[in-house]
Amino acid sequence: MYGKLTVSAAAIAMLASSALSAAANEKVTFGTNWLAEPEHGGYYQAVADGTYAACGLDVTLRPRGLDATRRLQVSAIINCTGPDSDLRRVADPLVRQLLGDGIVAVDRMGLGLDVAGTGAVLDAHGRPSERIYYVGPLLKARDWEATAVPELRLHARRVADAIASSFGPGAVYNA
């Protein structure tokens, strides 16, 4: 129904960012970036005991560097990457109001905030805010990783530069 889907290990987190219901016999190829280790045994056990087949997905597992594949039948792929970052489903009153008033917007993939390259939050019409900037994990659709100190440092510098340039040439800011 959905066709064959080939997934690299780097993209599996995006595929798994929300539970995906599957049609019977939907084919998915999961190309891993790892060779099988004991901690990956659950994938292979589910093939051996028929768990995936009983759930309706036809998943083929292709370990890194190998041409051999394993077929897995599953009914859903579940997010195991952390909290849901689709702000449209967040119940927080501030987030709801910012979205409802069009002050902020969800990115195209529904993984966080829509943000300009400067870190300025984009409104519902795609215009960058002059007052609201964002650094953090809600940048994952644009930057994939924005949670570790090295990335946060780069994002914070970009925001600081954007804010400093907004004061105009020759402006001095003392903290």
Domain boundary residue, one of 77, 96, 113: 77
In a domain, 59, yes or no: yes
Nearest residue to 65 via CA among 29, 35, 28? 35
33 and 58 belong to one structural domain = yes
Query: Does this model's pTM top 0.85?
Result: no
103 and 142 belong to one structural domain = yes
In a domain, 174, yes or no: no
Domain boundary residue, one of 46, 77, 108: 77
In this structure, what token pair is assigned to residue 68?
């051999």
Instruction: Give 117's contacts (C-beta < 8 A, 6+ positions apart).
Output: 158
96 and 73 belong to one structural domain = no
Domain boundary residue, one of 19, 52, 77: 77
In a domain, 69, yes or no: yes
39 and 103 belong to one structural domain = no
Could you tell me the residue range of the domain that residue 44 belongs to? 5-77
70 and 129 belong to one structural domain = no
Tens of each residue's pLDDT in the chain, 175 residues: 344 444 433 333 333 333 344 445 677 776 777 776 667 777 767 766 666 777 777 777 777 776 766 666 667 766 565 566 888 888 889 989 999 999 999 998 888 899 999 999 999 999 999 999 999 888 887 777 677 788 888 889 999 988 888 887 776 655 5
131 and 100 belong to one structural domain = yes
Cα torsion 17, 135, 127, 168 to 10°: value is -170
Domain total of the chain:
2
What local confidence, expressed as pLDDT, does residue 168 receive? 77
Nearest residue to 69 via CA among 15, 25, 30? 30
What local confidence, expressed as pLDDT, does residue 15 receive? 37
53 and 92 belong to one structural domain = no
Nearest residue to 154 via CA among 143, 163, 138? 143
69 and 96 belong to one structural domain = no
